[in-house]
Structure formats: structure tokens, C-alpha cells
């Protein structure tokens, strides 16, 4: 489970600014996906190799106006789940009465606390901190978030409070593909999980209180093993109101982080909501494979089904590569297709390329359509090699690749997707300029490799 750090403070002290600084690096993959809704409140940050979840609570202002119940609830949940709370204050404004009130409230929750004193730029640090020493919190960290200063000190202060994330299970075939089922309250997650478990299984009852645990449920379908990662599904079916109270964005994010394939469950009657799109955005941020399942299909008229299909097409064009399946968790229909889609997504996410097939594909793509001139620059693409899996990554070497038009990057992505039949997984293309893939290689090449190398170099020169 990803440990959680909650950012709390009065409005305008700089919480979102700090949040953006901390989570910035994680946005690369989805940075320019049109149509994708970002979540400004939840992001993942890394401390060395250990990821943790940062939650910008934004709403805990003492002024509940304009904050809907669900948001306020999410703030409560964030603090309840936090390993540590960063209480942010404003050095320019000094210590305010509302700061004291918030702190009294936070103390009641018994969480470890750090006071981050922001906006210290241009001020004397010692003097700024002294003002806040009156709060009686042991750790005071000076920050200038908008200048990106002080975050190292903050991370250092956080470190001892962040429990190390359990190491991911070895990707063992015995355990099966790790599948998370996520979705808004009431879309049918519990029904689906129970249906996949089979009627005869004993369902683990309530998990209330086990805030830091997720339940892993091994299942077998059509002779294949899966490990369902469940944070909400396996439990007694709650009444709707309770369910909404229990819905936790944090738990959803933790499931996504722990899974290999994420099934995003939608209510077919309602089409794709803002919250659904945001959830898919989180899946992409974590580069996970994804299957979109429209549930309660049994309940729909022909007209409603068409409506649902149109909504999926329009609102989810940024994940056009994800498979859509139409299911009824209640009646058990479409589940075989769902699990096949999970298999395909997993196979694509773990696809291992070899360099020669990549180079042949790159060549074919290049011949089909060459990068257009951008401000007089003509980018060149020379050779490609595999860069890893989960998500599958292709590294392309060339020159002036930063001038590659976005449309050309998309063209390449679609070309590779089609060629390698990649479905249900993000695909990462990395561009590098002016590097020789053979530089620094000490081992002697075989004859075949030498011929291949000559061919690559010839082709590269031709371009």
C-alpha cells in the first residue's frame, strides 16, 4: 500500500503549489492527452525508489461553504489514512487564529505532524520559523514552494514517517495477474467481485477499520489464475448512503498502484461521468493496463445502449486503445469476455520487443510517412530499441526529435500499436538525440549481429 501524506492548511498558503512541485514528474505520460481530466488533489511522489501518495486536502478551511459532502468526506478519509500530516502555514501572513484552530483539530486525530512554513522567500528564515514555534510542533520546515525551494528538507522530514511500501510480489505465474476493479460508488464492484468469486465461495465480510490493508483474493476462471486486488468489493453489500461514505479515492489509487491490470467499471445507464474519466486518468498516470467495463447492461433499452456506446466513444477518446466490454455483473454475462480482455491487456503490457522487429517497424513507419518540417527543422529517426515493459517502452534514437510534431508522435504510436497488436496498455515512446546504440558495448558481435549493425548504419545514413 502506498503511504499517504496529507497536505492541510488555510486557503492560499500554497498547498496546490507544493502539491504540483511534489507530483510534477509523474505527469509525463498523460501531459498532453486531450480530453483527460486531471485530479488536482491526488498525486504520486517518489522518495528515492519509494512512491507515496500526496493528497492536497484543499477543503479543510474551517469554512465549509461550497464544499460538498463528498469532498469533505474525502478530506476526512485522507487524514484518517495519512501516515503523516503536513500542516502548511504562510510565513508572510504569520501565525493566524485559524492556523491554531486547524492545529487543535489535527492534534485530536493523533497523526504525526510536520509544520511547513511556506513563502519564506525574501524573509529571514529563522525569524519566520520562530513565529510558528509557538504551535509546539517539533518539526518545522521552511519552504518557498513557488520557487521550488525547501522540498528536500521536507522530504527528509517525511522519510522516517513513511512506512516502506511492501515490495511487489515477484511476477509469478502461480499467483496470477493482479487485477484491480475500480469504479464510482454503486457501479457494481461488489457484485462483480462476488460473481467472479463464484457462488460457493465464502465472502470475507466487512473490512471496516482495516484502513491500511487491501485484500487479495485469488480466483480461477477458465483454468487461469488471477489475484483480485480488492479494497472495497469484497465485503457485505452496504446500503447506498454508507457506500458513498466509504468510497475512498485513496483506496482506489492504492489498488491501481498494486495492480497490473485495472478494470474500470462504469454504470452503463449513466455513461462516462467526470469522475470516471478522472479515475482513468489516474490509471494512465500509473501507466497501468486498463479494461473499461460498462456494467448493468441487462438493465438498458436498445436506445440506452447506443447512448452508452456513443458516450464511451466521445468521452474516452484519450484511451481509444482500451478495450470496452459490456457486462452484467448481476447476471454474470460478459464476464468471460471481460477476463479475456484482461488477459490481452496484460499480454500487451508485458510484451517484450526485440530490436530488429522494432527497427523494421520504425523503418516501415518512416517510409509510410515522414516527420513534417517544424519551424524549418527536419527531425530524423534512426533506430529503435526496447526500453522495458509495464508499460511497453520503445526508445527511438535520432536527431532534433524535440521538434517532432505531436501528430507524428501519435502516428508512430498508432503504427507500433497496430504492428505489434498492442491493446489495453499505454505505450511509451522515448526519443533520444545523438546517441549510438553500439557505443560502449564491449562484447564481441557475432557475424549476424555485425551484418545487422552494418545494415542499420547504412539505413541510418540513407535517411
Ligand X SMILES: Nc1nc2c(ncn2[C@@H]2O[C@H](COP(=O)(O)OP(=O)(O)OP(=O)(O)O)[C@@H](O)[C@H]2O)c(=O)[nH]1
User: Residue 123 in 3-state DSSP?
Assistant: coil
Using CB under 6 A, pick the residue from 76, 121, 270, 309 that binds ligand X.
Answer: 121
The answer to the question of residue 371 lying near ligand X (CB under 6 A) is: no
Nearer to ligand X, 191 or 401 (CB): 191
Instruction: Check whether 183 is labelled as a binding-site residue.
Output: yes
4, 5, 15, 257: which one binds ligand X (CB under 6 A)? 15
In the range 235-294, which residues lie near ligand X by CB under 6 A? 237-238, 243, 247
Q: Which residues of 146-180 are buried (b: 16+ CB within 10 A; e: fewer)?
A: eeeebbeebbebbeebbeebeeeeeeeeeebbbbb
Q: How far separated are the first and last CA of the chain, in Å rounded? A: 48
DSSP string, 256-291: HHH-SEEEEEEETTT---HHHHHHHHHHHHTT-EEE
Length of the chain in terms of residues written: 463
Q: Quick check: 228 binds ligand X (CB under 6 A)? A: no
Considering only 26, 41, 296, 385, the residue that binds ligand X (CB under 6 A) is 296
- Size of the residue set binding ligand X (CB under 6 A): 37
User: Based on CB atoms, which residue is closest to ligand X, 9 or 398?
Assistant: 9
Does residue 462 have a known ligand-binding role? no
- Rg for the chain, CA atoms, rounded: 25
Judge contact between 405 and 371, C-beta under 8 A.
Answer: yes
Which residue's CB is nearer to ligand X, number 107 or number 149? 149
Check the annotation: does 222 bind a ligand.
Answer: no
| Site map (CB under 6 A) of ligand X, residues 34-73, x = contact | ------------------------x---------------
Under rule CB under 6 A, residue 188 binds ligand X: yes
CB of 385 to ligand X, least distance (A): 41
142 binds ligand X (CB under 6 A): no
CA 261, CA 289: separation in Å to the nearest integer?
A: 5
**Binding test (CB under 6 A) with ligand X, winner from 27, 245, 270, 298:** 298
Which residue, 78 or 395, is less far from ligand X as judged by CB? 78
Backbone dihedral region of 425: left (phi > 0), alpha (psi from -120 to 50 degrees) or beta?
beta
Position with the least CB separation from ligand X: 243
What's the rounded Cα separation, in Å, for the pair 360 and 364?
Answer: 6
Asked whether residue 16 is marked as a ligand-binding residue, the answer is: yes
230 has binding-site annotation: yes
The reply to whether 321 sits in an annotated binding site is: no
Determine which residue in the list 146, 278, 304, 350 makes contact with ligand X, applying CB under 6 A. 146
Q: Which of 452, 187, 133, 151 is nearest to 328 (CA)?
A: 187
Number of other residues whose CB lies within 10 A of the CB of residue 450: 11
The three-point CA angle 129-134-136 to 5° equals 100
**Judged by CB under 6 A, does residue 232 bind ligand X?**
yes
Residues 441, 447, 448, 451, Cα dihedral to 10°: 80
Interior CA angle at 302 toward 298 and 306, to 5°? 105
Nearer Cβ to ligand X, position 293 or 365? Answer: 293
Interface ranges with ligand X (CB under 6 A): 9, 11-17, 58, 118-119, 121, 144-147, 183, 185-191, 232-233, 237-238, 243, 247, 295-296, 298-299, 328-330
Q: Binding site membership: which residues?
A: 9-16, 56-60, 118-121, 183-190, 230-234, 295-298
Q: Binding site membership for GTP: which residues?
A: 9-16, 56-60, 118-121, 183-190, 230-234, 295-298
Amino acid at each position: 500500500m502506498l503511504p499517504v501524506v496529507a497536505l492541510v492548511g488555510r486557503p492560499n498558503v500554497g498547498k496546490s503549489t507544493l502539491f504540483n512541485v511534489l507530483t510534477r514528474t509523474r505527469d509525463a505520460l498523460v501531459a498532453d492527452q486531450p480530453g483527460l481530466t486531471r485530479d488536482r488533489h491526488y498525486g504520486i511522489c517518489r522518495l528515492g525508489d519509494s512512491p507515496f501518495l500526496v493528497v492536497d486536502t484543499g477543503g479543510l478551511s474551517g469554512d465549509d461553504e461550497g464544499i460538498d459532502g463528498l469532498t469533505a468526506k474525502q478530506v476526512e478519509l485522507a487524514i484518517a489514512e495519512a501516515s503523516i500530516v503536513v500542516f502548511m502555514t504562510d510565513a508572510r501572513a504569520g501565525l493566524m487564529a485559524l492556523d491554531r484552530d486547524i492545529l487543535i483539530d489535527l492534534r485530536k486525530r493523533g497523526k504525526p505532524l510536520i509544520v511547513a512554513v511556506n513563502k519564506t522567500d525574501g524573509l529571514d528564515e529563522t525569524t519566520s520559523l520562530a513565529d510558528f514555534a509557538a504551535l509546539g510542533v517539533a518539526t518545522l520546515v521552511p519552504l518557498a514552494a513557488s520557487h521550488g525551494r525547501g522540498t528536500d528538507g521536507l522530504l527528509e522530514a517525511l522519510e522516517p514517517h513513511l512506512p516502506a511500501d511492501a515490495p511487489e510480489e515477484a511476477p509469478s505465474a502461480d499467483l496470477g495477474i493482479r487485477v484491480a476493479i475500480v469504479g464510482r460508488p454503486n457501479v457494481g464492484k461488489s457484485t462483480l467481485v462476488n460473481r467472479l468469486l463464484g457462488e460457493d465461495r465464502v465472502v470475507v465480510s466487512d473490512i471496516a477499520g482495516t484502513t491500511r490493508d487491501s485484500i487479495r483474493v485469488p480466483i480461477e476462471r477458465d483454468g487461469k489464475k488471477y489475484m483480485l486486488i480488492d479494497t472495497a468489493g469484497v465485503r457485505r453489500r452496504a446500503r447506498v448512503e454508507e457506500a458513498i461514505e466509504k468510497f475512498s479515492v485513496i483506496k482506489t489509487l492504492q489498488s491501481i498502484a498494486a495492480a497490473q491490470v485495472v478494470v474500470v467499471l462504469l454504470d452503463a445507464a449513466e455513461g462516462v461521468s467526470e469522475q470516471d474519466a478522472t479515475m482513468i486518468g489516474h490509471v494512465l498516470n500509473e501507466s497501468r493496463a486498463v479494461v473499461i467495463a460498462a456494467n448493468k447492461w441487462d438493465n438498458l433499452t436498445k436506445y440506452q445502449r447506443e447512448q452508452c456506446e456513443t458516450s464511451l466513444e466521445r468521452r474516452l477518446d484519450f484511451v481509444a486503445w482500451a478495450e470496452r466490454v459490456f457486462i452484467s455483473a448481476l447476471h454474470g454475462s460478459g464476464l468471460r469476455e471481460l477476463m479475456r480482455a484482461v488477459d490481452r491487456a496484460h499480454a500487451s503490457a508485458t510484451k517484450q520487443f526485440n530490436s530488429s522487429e522494432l527497427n523494421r517497424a520504425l523503418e516501415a513507419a518512416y517510409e509510410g510517412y515522414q516527420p513534417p518540417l517544424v519551424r524549418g527543422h527536419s527531425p530524423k529517426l534512426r533506430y529503435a530499441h526496447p526500453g522495458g515493459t509495464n508499460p511497453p517502452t520503445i526508445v527511438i534514437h535520432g536527431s532534433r526529435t524535440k521538434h517532432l510534431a505531436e501528430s507524428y508522435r501519435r502516428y508512430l504510436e498508432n503504427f507500433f500499436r497496430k504492428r505489434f497488436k498492442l491493446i489495453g496498455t499505454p505505450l511509451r515512446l522515448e526519443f533520444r538525440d545523438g546517441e549510438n546504440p553500439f557505443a560502449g558495448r564491449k562484447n564481441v558481435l557475432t557475424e549476424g549481429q555485425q551484418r545487422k549493425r552494418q545494415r542499420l548504419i547504412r539505413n541510418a545514413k540513407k535517411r
